[in-house]
Structure 1
Amino acid sequence: CGGGNLNLSVYDPSLVLQSSSSFNSTGASSTDQGWGAAVGPDGSVYAAGIVNQNCGGQNAWVGKYNSSLVLQSSASFDGPVYSYDGAQAVAADASGNIYTAGYVNEYRPNNVLNNNMLVAKYNASLVLLATASFSAQPDGDERAWAVAPGQGGAVYAAGIAAGHLWLWKYDSSLVLQATATVTGTANNSDIAYGIAVASNGTVYAAGMVENSGTGNDLWVGRYDPALVLESSATFNGPLAASDDYGSRVAVNGDGDVFVAGEVESSAENWNIWLGKYDAYLALVSSTVYGASALVDEMYSITADEKGRVFLSGTSPEGDGDIWAAQFNTALVFQSSFTVDGPGVTVDRGAGIATDGNGAVYAVGTLSLAANSEEDIYLSKYQALATPPAVGIADPPDNSYKYALDAVAGTAFDDVSVSSAQLSIQRLSDGLYWNGSAWAAGPLWLDAGVDANNWTYESVPSWVSRSSYTVVAKARDRAGDWSQLYSTSTFTFGEAPAGCGVNATREVAKSGYQYSSIQAAVNSISAVLSTTACVVIRDAETYSEQVTVRNFANNGYRLKIMADPTFVSSAPLVNPPAFSTAAFQVFNDSVSVLGINIISTNSVQYGIRASSSAVTVSSVNIVSGGKIYTAGISISSYSEVSFSSITVQSAVGLRLNGSGTTVSFSTVTSTLVNSYGAALYLNGVSSNTITQSYIANLGTGGCAAGYVGAGAHLTGGASNNTISLSTITSSVFGYCGGAVQLTD
């Protein structure tokens, strides 16, 4: 018995047609329809529909293809009368059994010929194993629109009987086990178009129900395996009393439930509606797809384990074209294709299925010619894969780290990220970290993934002043790796004792984190939570004025210091023209340590500190005749130690507050006929100078009204202590002498 036409097409990942073939067994005028698609556990592809055959009239049909769409076998089902039978859905179970659902034309007990619901079971070779039909009333069309295998060999079908939405459960031999019905409040016409079974056995059915006041509404229900209703939800389109049609359902491995149908967006115009529900049917999100002024039809939905959702239906373009589209799990449209047959009637996309590895198969009906010939149409295309984007958050690229207990980053994908990997290379020898030792590579390490974040904690023992490169990549549930990897090269630094590891900055003219002292200071958080250190790692000259201000210290210090391992060398700061000083300190609790200061430009100060609690230690200032106010001017409760100040026509060290200690330091100037001295205390008290050498090395005499002493205490300075120190002046005359005391 012959019959049926078949048209095959193969699409590449860009949805461009690669090849096609047709199968015709009865001639050019046959009218055949494709309705269902499924993929078996071995990758075989199954199509179901309706064929017109010479010896059996209109029959239910199922065909088996390989993944290249080459027909392997087929079977048709002809009911007890020469009339109308059809398969509207097909499904495969984990054992390879194939189920079709549709209708069979039969006589009912009252001898009325009509369509009864039909379920058929085949083995993988399409040998018929069992059938079951069902009727609930003496008259009226009754059929199944969807079929799905369940747990323990159970089979579920969904459709219409007695004018209302109807669900059936059968055992593996197609013996009826249970039924369930749903009736809208209008008590008129209700129908189920879709059914799906979650991995835990929960059954989801979808369709439409007619309700009073709102018209036809999309409906979805959740059932236990025995078809006991647990919850349901309806969706009414944007028009108050709109007619919203269809409604198919799919569920993925995460328990997400996807429902698709048609909503009336304006009078007599329908668009495709896609909704995402949680497992208990709370609506998570929804979207409307299609041109608002045209009619779009949706017939099938499936979701794969990689988070993608696929729809099939009819596009309103031209005379109506086969249409299929892909959405991600967030219901964002990703791609689509259309097929327009050469005929003048509507082409319809009806069934869609995926093999889980990116191959998507669509089944429909293709119009071929003006004589109304229609063929079953089966096509294959590759799902669009959008690879994840990956980034490394810690360590940042071109950074210096003083502590790194884990490498961490982010990964984002339109589906979801399933895994992340990274490599760690030591640049000194090119070896890679394998999780426990350094070895030849490259080597990839598995990171822990939590949503859009990844972390790797089994890091090596980082070596101070060594550089490393981290490369990261991520993979999504579709199996696609990042096209662009993320790379970060960093140097592991050594924070000096007492310096916070996250608040240490290293400076050098090349090869380090910062090339200027000011830039390093500026990079530190304005609110200190630990001692912050700017460490200068070379002995180069820095032509800059360093200004420190606006830090909230919170009991911590900010230190600007030479590398503490330096013994006979030190960095040099030479303030540029128009500077005020090499260091301006307008913040308390600041230290300047181990730095040499010279000036080849005229400036007022070497160090000017107007705030309290400033420490200057192991600092050497050489004026070269260019500092004209003071080598160091410092405020209260500060400390100068192990330092040397050499100035010419300027004060060497000026104390402007109380409670400051000067120790183990040398201060010299050459002031003559000036109102100052090597050490100058004006109106201050309770300062201590000990174990220091203070000298005015000016020559000659000075006139009345000037001071040229080694130390000058004036303006009511009191309770200051000078001990174990040498103070001298080579200036003679009225203003000379080691110490001058004036009011």
Structure 2
Amino acid sequence: RAVLGGQQLSTGGGDIAYRASTADGGATWTKRFSGPLYPAPVDPVTGEVTGPAPTTIAQIAALDAAPDKTTGWAVGNEWNPGGGADGSKVTYKRMLIYRTTDGGSTWTTQTAPATGGSPVAAVTAADGSTGYACGTGLRQYLKTSNGTTWGTVNQAFQAGVPNAYYLAIDSVDANNVVMAGTSGVVANTTDGGATWTRRVAPGGASLRGVSMLSATNWIVVGDGETVLRTTDSGATWTGSTLPAAPTGSVSAPAQGFSVVAGVPVTLAGTAADAGVGVQKVEYRVRRSDSMSWNGVAWVAADTWLPASTTDGWSTWSASFTPDTALVASGLTVSVTARATDAIGNFGEITGPTSGVTPFSASVSIEGGAPYATTQNVSLAVSANIGTQMRWSVNGGAPSAWVPYATTASVDLGAGDGNKTVTFDFTADGVNVAGSASDSIVLDTGVPSVALSAPGAGFSYNAASVTVSGTSSDSGSGVSSAQVRVRRADGRSWDGSAWVAGDAWLTAMTSDANATWSLTWTPDADVKASGQIVTISARATDAAGLVANATDVASGVLSGQSVTLAGGAATTSQTSVTAAVAATGATHM
């Protein structure tokens, strides 16, 4: 024996409900009821219609008859049309329960209890007074034990079994009941609902029908062509199921994304599963040499890291921070996601591959010069990654981040010696993408130099004059000592002749200019001139700083005299006779 129920939607006059039954396996059907669930109001005396039928949307969702073939229940749902702020939505209003005790010829309305707010899906009539209904809320069902009053029962959460809405129900008596629903969840009781056993059927597809052939022998059907049978109350199952692996996408980062040391790469995507639902999403970051990132280092083992979600895995996200080793290697990295459902099915989701962007930078102090003579130096800067930069000297505290530029001026700090300037580069003002450095020797102290010979008032009437001296430098060291021999008329000796201006001659040394010497050979012209000759010396260090020694002047060459007008003190003549004498002189 079976009972059918259905609906016909109507915008006016209420919805038309239809109920029919068969007693011969469906060969013939008898109409038991046809008409609106909420007919227009009628005057009980005159029988005249007194108003319009209520405006509503109602349906009979399921019916079932008890073994006595006379008692049964029909359950359904009612919605409010025109709900929502703009009147465009249909909102759930309440559940409907009807009972028949005459094989469906007449029906009475029963009061539905408060539920989880979801539509009722199915009903079973265990006997003439016991009925069960399901679908009204997560892990929820309804029961009546007296045929009249219904109550709501909420099952406790069971670890390892997903929350589910029950979509189908059947019974063989008041104690043995089976419910099946979303995520492949099957629940059964053998004590009238006092206790329940909940489990997930193979495949995890949503189950939409259940039939109890006996207390332990059941058949369930569901999505994905699932047809399963158990003969031991769900401990084992046979049949067919087509469990589909979860699917999804990797929406970020984009293909060819940049890899910058210290700058996090945001990973994001979606995941979905038509069966038992996505249980977790993992991601893998793998270099082109097959090494995987384990969150701390690159390892040979294939490594999957957990993603996170805020909406039950409809969307997921994660973050990966490239290290300097990856950037320096120039290897690409690929991102792959893996979604796993509640029964262990998983699907890999291919993601993007990074571009090759190895970090490259350089710093040059004073054009590569080995020495600096002032604390403030100029630098040329270059980096292919980064929008900001900072610097430090000899490992000291770094400066503040400043916008990236190709030149910079840096104070090396007090104190002569080696100075290493390190520049850091960043794309976010926090994480260092890479660094570059250059070194220079700061030398601000001038060398010292002194003339040892000849002494003041020396004579150059000899064949040669030896010029010698000492020099030192505590910084870069003396690179040269030089001597200048200059006559009173301003002409200098260049080693072979007297020339206008300054001519400096390099002295000889055998101890890195700690001591030095130069031999000057006075020529006949200077001896004949009798002019005072001044000897100067200077020392230059490797940084280019110069120091000068105290000059030494010669005496007047002997045997030189001039007498005017015979030695008279005064004269009235404009032209006088001069008597001239100079020992060894050939010109005047």
TM class, shorter-length: 0.3 to 0.5
TM-score (norm 2): 0.33
Name whichever structure is richer in strand by fraction: 1
Rg (Cα) greater in structure: 2
TM-score normalised by structure 1 residue count: 0.27
